[in-house]
């Protein structure tokens, strides 16, 4: 009988930046009605890394923030949740990006970002693509590291290396169209991450832009034909659907009390699915098993202003 201690599971590697969301904690029609902004942890990939770690998964974040007090605050939040930060860097001479967030009467957010982190991922991750791909159990990507040419090249290189090593890849486009030169560029860049993905998670508007379809079933089938193994389309208050190796339809969950903000709803759902998959050793049925929990977490996220509050 061997006394060898089994190695712990490799972490899920999440690629992207952390930033500060400055949220006006009132539903308003525009900036002229804003009276105060409150800092919250932010950045889609960092949100998902933090929430997946809270859910029990081993998670590492590869990316950056500025070397300032905000960056240190974000780093402390990540470390407190158990996110591994060996590949997360505070960039000397740079300021942490700030996102001004306005919430409308339906809880939908509008973002204005000050200080785009151009090229940060390329500088941190570029020299270590092979090392990072080999050391992770799976890779999570969003479109935010596809906007700039340098970051896009490194992101796609890491993705390709992960697929070569049979590491599962999860892609959540999280398209913020104001960051892109055109809708066509955004859709094409997101579509390039679909082939070979274990899971693509998108809301209906994002998936419609990517596929030029508007019916949820046709949208899902188009993404499957493009090479995704599984597709989760979120439908707002109507819940979510899974198509691919498994099929499921999960109804929406009512928000308790007043819907404040949808800022973290998609992040909460994606993080739940990542955690379920990682904890199950990337056993694909975990997607179907975890989808109901993901929809519940998305509804709970709508009861708070920030994604990780």
Could you read off the pLDDT of 22-71 as tens digits, one per residue? 999 999 999 999 999 999 999 999 999 999 999 999 999 999 999 999 99
Number of domains in the chain: 1
The predicted pLDDT at position 7 comes to 60
Region of 5 on the Ramachandran plot (φ > 0 left; ψ -120 to 50 alpha; else beta): beta
- Residue-wise pLDDT for 137-196, tens only, equals 999 999 999 999 999 999 999 999 999 999 999 999 999 888 899 999 999 999 999 999
Question: Which pLDDT band holds residue 1 (cuts at 50, 70, 90)?
Answer: very low
For residue 291, what are its two tokens? 């989808």
Distance CA 54, CA 295 (A): 17
Does some domain include residue 7? no
Does some domain include residue 308? no
Does some domain include residue 5? no
Q: Residue 27 belongs to what domain range?
A: 12-301
Q: What is the CATH number of the domain that holds 260?
A: 3.40.1190.20
Does some domain include residue 307? no
- Residue-wise pLDDT for 57-112, tens only, equals 999 999 999 999 999 999 999 999 999 999 999 999 999 999 999 999 999 999 99
Does some domain include residue 306? no
CB-based contacts of 178-187 (< 8 A; 24+ apart in sequence): 178/111, 178/112, 179/113, 179/116, 179/144, 179/147, 180/147, 183/209, 186/143
Does some domain include residue 153? yes
Single pTM value for the model:
0.94
The predicted pLDDT at position 176 comes to 87
Whether the CB-CB separation of 45 and 142 falls below 8 Å is answered with yes
Residue 6 has pLDDT above 60, yes or no: no
């Amino acid at each position: 009988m061997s006394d060898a201690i089994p190695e712990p599971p490799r972490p899920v590697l999440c690629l992207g930046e952390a930033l500060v969301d400055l949220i006006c904690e009132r539903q308003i029609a525009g900036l002229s009605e804003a009276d105060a902004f409150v800092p919250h942890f932010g950045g889609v990939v960092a949100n998902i890394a933090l929430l997946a770690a809270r859910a029990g998964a081993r998670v590492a974040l590869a990316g950056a923030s500025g070397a300032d007090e905000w960056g240190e605050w974000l780093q402390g939040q990540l470390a407190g949740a158990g996110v591994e930060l060996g590949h997360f860097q505070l960039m000397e001479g740079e300021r942490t990006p700030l996102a001004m967030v306005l919430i409308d009467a339906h809880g939908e957010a509008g973002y204005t970002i000050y200080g785009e982190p151009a090229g940060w991922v390329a500088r941190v991750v570029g020299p270590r693509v092979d090392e990072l791909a080999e050391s992770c159990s799976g890779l999570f990507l969003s479109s935010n590291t596809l906007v700039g040419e340098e970051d896009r090249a490194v992101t796609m290189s890491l993705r390709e290396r992960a697929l070569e090593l049979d590491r599962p890849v999860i892609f959540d486009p999280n398209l913020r169209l104001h960051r892109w030169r055109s809708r066509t560029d955004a859709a094409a860049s997101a579509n390039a991450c679909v082939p070979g993905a274990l899971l693509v998670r998108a809301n209906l508007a994002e998936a419609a832009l990517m596929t030029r379809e508007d019916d949820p079933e046709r949208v899902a089938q188009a993404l499957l034909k493009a090479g995704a193994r599984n597709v989760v389309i979120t439908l707002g208050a109507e819940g979510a659907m899974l198509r691919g190796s498994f099929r499921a339809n999960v109804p929406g969950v009512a928000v308790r009390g007043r819907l404040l903000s949808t800022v973290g709803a998609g992040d909460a759902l994606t993080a739940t699915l990542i955690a379920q998959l990682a904890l199950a050793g990337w056993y694909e049925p975990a997607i179907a098993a975890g989808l109901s929990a993901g929809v519940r977490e998305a509804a709970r996220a709508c009861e708070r202003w920030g994604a990780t509050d």
